[in-house]
Amino acid sequence: MEFFIKKIFDRKKDESVHVQFQKFSRGEFKDRAMLKVKNSNGKFTIDTTSEYARELIRVMAEKLGNNKTHVTGALISALELTGFKYESKTSAIGVRKYQLDREMTGKEIVELCDKQTKAFFGLSFNVGEDELKIKDKSPKSAKGASSAKKEDAELKIDFCKLKTSDRKIVESLIFEPSLENFKKVEIKHDFIITDIVIPNELKNEKDFAKVREGALRKGKVIRYLDIDGKKLKKEAEFEA
């Protein structure tokens, strides 16, 4: 599986990329989709911000397949969710939290991801020796450059954590051709949204929520990499 950032740099479009930008208006959004990877003799510790949560869950669930694992955490949404099993439900300030704490197959997890497209997935589980932990709380909303942290402030990259020896996952996140026996990689992105493009089929739509959800964001992603102290900067234009 390819992560949404890689799809942007490969000039690919699909719903998984579009969903990542639905909440953004025009503007500059710094320090997004951040991650750091540490390599200890082929055992990798991956820490990311919340943007990668659903994709990491899906990657691990696909590895699990028809086997079972114990899943804990929650699906979180401002909307009422139906059609799946959960252990408990709480609601606060308009946000609903559906708690999971049970055995599931990888196939069941993937089906849940496909069905509950409006929810944030904060699930944790193991696949063999691989361990995925994601915070079961709502991610912070998108904020523009005017509210960004000061440059000397430490950036928190601790929403998702994956411990794995699967190098393919690491390469899908970093996707650098010269990546060899690295020790530490840190990556962050700036999202520059220059235009909101309304598809023709939505131009007469009266429901603003539908328009906002279906509108395409156009701009560029600036990618900053630090691979064992070597700094790189790359850019890719997108419409999603």
Tens digit of each residue's pLDDT (9 = 90 or more) over 15-69: 999 999 999 999 999 999 999 999 999 999 999 999 999 999 999 999 999 999 9
Same domain, 131 and 161: no
Same domain, 169 and 97: no
Q: How many domains does the chain have?
A: 2
Q: With a cut of 70, list the residues of the chain below it in pLDDT.
A: 142, 144-153
**Residue 212 pLDDT:** 87
Same domain, 22 and 60: no
Same domain, 172 and 131: no
Same domain, 147 and 206: yes
**Residue 28 pLDDT:** 97
Select from 147, 138, 134, 6 the least CA-distant residue to 58. 134
Domain boundary among 104, 135, 166: 135
Domain boundary among 107, 135, 163: 135
Same domain, 43 and 59: no
Question: Residue 180 carries which side chain, given as an amino acid letter?
Answer: E
Select from 45, 56, 205 the least CA-distant residue to 122. 56
Phi, psi of 125 (to 5 degrees): -170, 165
Which ranges of the chain would DSSP assign to H, the alpha helix?
4-9, 15-21, 53-64, 106-115, 167-174, 208-214
Same domain, 214 and 97: no
Q: How far apart are CA 200 and CA 195, in angstroms?
A: 15
Question: Residue 121 carries which side chain, given as an amino acid letter?
Answer: F
What residues make up the domain containing 95?
52-135
**Residue 153 pLDDT:** 59
Same domain, 61 and 104: yes
Same domain, 152 and 206: yes
**Residue 142 pLDDT:** 64
Same domain, 143 and 45: yes
pTM of the model: 0.93
